[in-house]
Structure 1
Amino acid sequence: MGGIMKKHVIFAAVALAISPAHAAQVFSGNGIGSPGATIDPFDASTRGTLLAYSETSGGAFTFSTKFRSAVYRNTDGHLDFYYQVERTGAGPSGNNAIQKFTGADFGAFDTFAFRDDSDFDGPGGFLAAGNPGTFTSLASRSFDGNVLGVNFGSNNLVGTENSTTYIFRTNAFAFKAGTFGVIDGSTVEGPSFAPTVPEPATWAMMLGGFSLLGVVARRRRARTNVAYV
C-alpha cells in the first residue's frame, strides 16, 4: 500500500510541472452540453523528440480520409500526442464535410490542447494547415476522461483540405496502442496512440533518472533528449 501511495504522490508532483503557462486544460465533460476548451498555439521550442508515428487511410459512406498521429517526448520529459486529419475525397454515398475527430484512451491524465499550423516535420507525414478561414476549433472530453476530441466548427474539412496539427500535452511518461475516430455523420476508425502508466520497473528507472537530472542541473550540464523507439 505504501508503494502505491508513493507512486501516486510522485505522479501528482511531476504532473504539476507540465502545466504550460496560459494554456487551457481539457477537463472531463468539456464540449458536452457546454463550451469546449480553447486550443492554443504551440510553442515549437518545447517539441522534443519523435517516438512513434502512424498514418491510416480509410473511407466512410460520406467521405474518405487520411489520419496521422504521433507521440513526442517533449522537453520536460512528458508525452505529447499529435493528430491531423486530411480529407481525401467523397464517399460512395455522399460528400459531407468532416466535423470532428476523437482519440482514446486518455483516462485520468492531465491534458492541454494546442495547435501547430506549420509543416514542422519537413519530409515527414504532417502537413501545414490546409483549411483557410478563421480558426474556430474547440477541444472536448468525455465525462469519464477517456475520449478526447476536436470539434472543427466552421473549420470543417471539405474537398481535399487538411486540418492543422492538434497536440494534446499530457503528464504521461509512457504510451500504448490507442484508437481514433473521424466523424461527419459516418465514421472512420483506426489505430493510434494513447498514454499509459509505466510498469513498476519503469517507475524505478524514472526515479533514478530524476535524481540524475538533479545532479545534471546542479552541474549546469546540457540536457539530452533520448528517443525510445
Structure 2
Amino acid sequence: MKRIGLFALASSVAIGLATPAMAGPLLPGQSGVIFTPLDTTTRGTQLASIETGTLGATTYTGFLRSAVYRNTFGTLDFYFQVAISTIADGDEVNNLTASSFMGYTVDAFVDTTDFDGAGFFTAANNPNLQGPPGSTTTASRNGSGSVIRADFGDNGLEAGGQTSATYIFRTNATNYNLGGTFTTQDGSVAQRPNFQAAAAVPEPATWAMMLIGFGGLGVAMRRSRPAVVRIRFA
C-alpha cells in the first residue's frame, strides 16, 4: 500500500510539473480579474504579428499591435498593445477587446517590458503603471466567452506618446486565423481584423487518409453482412 501511495504521489507531482503554471482560467461571463505577470520563460516563439493604425477612431490616433506566440506548453498566446500618438483633450482610451475565443480556455497575463527588442512591442509608459503589481488593469469575458477584454482602470491612455502594457491571453488553442477583431475605445472606436483562436484544419493528406479509412470501413461492413439463405419449395 505504501508503494502504491508513493507512486500515486510521484505521478501527481509529475502531472503538476507538466501543467502550465498560471492563474485559474477566465470564465465566460467573468469580470474584474487582475492580470497575472507573465512568466517570461514560458513565452515561446512568435508565429505572426500585425501593427496598424487606429482605423475608425475620430478622437485619437495611434497604433494597435498584436501577435500570436506558441508558448512553451505548445498552445497559443494572443498579445495586444495600444500606443497613442494623439488624443483629444479630456478623452482617454480605457479598454481593449478581442474576439473570438468561444469554446477555448483563456488566462490573462501582462508584460510591461520591451520584450521583442527591435520588434514593435515597446515598454509600457501609461499613467500610474510601474509594472505588476502596479497594474490596475482587469480582465473580463462576455457571457458566451467569445470576447475578452482589458479594462485599463487607472492605466488609461490620455496623452500622446503613451503606450499600454502588453496584455496576453493564453489559450488551449493550437491553431489561429485572421477572423477575429481587435477594438479600442474612448469617445470613439477603432477596430480592425485580428487573430483569433481557431480549430485546426486537417491537411490534404489527412483528409485523404480519412476518406480511405471510411471507404475501407464501408467495404468491411458490406463483407460482414450475413448471407441470405433462400429455400425453394417444389
TM-score by length of structure 1 reads 0.74
Q: How does 1:12-161 map to 2 (within 5 A)?
A: 20-31=20-31, 36-58=32-54, 60-91=57-88, 95-133=90-128, 134-159=134-159, 160-161=161-162
How many Å separate the matches in 1 of 2:18 and 2:187? Answer: 36
Taking only the aligned residue pairs, the percentage that are identical comes to 41
CA contact 1:117–1:165 (8 Å) conserved in 2? yes
TM-aligned CA deviation for residue 130 of structure 1: 1.1
SS at match of 1:172: coil
The one-letter code of the counterpart of 2:144 is D
Mean Cα deviation higher: 59-68 or 81-90: 59-68
Tell me the secondary structure at the aligned position of residue 54 of structure 2: strand
The answer for unaligned runs of 5 or more in structure 2 is 1-15, 129-133, 207-234
Amino acid at match of 2:28: S
> In the aligned structure 1, how far is the partner of 2:65 from the partner of 2:197?
17
Check 1:72–1:22 CA distance in 2 against 1; reply closer, same or farther (3 A cut).
Answer: closer
In 2: Cα distance, 1:110 partner to 1:45 partner? 21
Unmatched tracts of structure 1, length 5 or more = 1-15, 205-229
Deviation at 1:185, TM superposition (A): 2.8
| Residue 221 of structure 2: aligned partner | none
Amino acid at match of 2:199: V
* AA in 2 matched with 1:71: V
Once the 2 structures are TM-superposed, how far is the Cα of residue 21 of structure 1 from its aligned partner? 2.8
For 2:169, the equivalent position in structure 1 comes to 168
CA distance, structure 2, for counterparts of residue 71 and residue 44 of structure 1: 15
**CA apart distance, 1:158:** 1.2
Whichever of the two has the greater Rg, that structure is: 2
Which is worse superposed, 61-70 or 46-55? 61-70
Q: C-alpha distance in 1, partners of 2:107/2:17?
A: 13
1:125 counterpart letter in structure 2? F
Task: Name the SS of the counterpart of 2:20 in structure 1.
Answer: coil
State the alpha-carbon separation in 1 of the partners of residues 184 and 17 from structure 2: 32
Aligned 8 A contact 2:127 2:156 in 1:
no
**Deviation for aligned residue 1:107:** 1.1
Alignment partner of 1:193 out of 186, 189, 195? 195
How many residue pairs match? The answer is: 184
- Give the TM-score taking structure 2 as reference length: 0.73
CA distance in 2, matches of 1:51, 1:164: 20
1:108, distance to aligned residue in structure 2 (A): 1.1
**Equivalent position amino acid for 2:138 in 1:** L
Change (3 A) 1:17 1:107: farther
Corresponding residue number in structure 1 for 2:223: none
Distance in 2 between residues matched to 1:63 and 1:18, nearest whole Å: 44
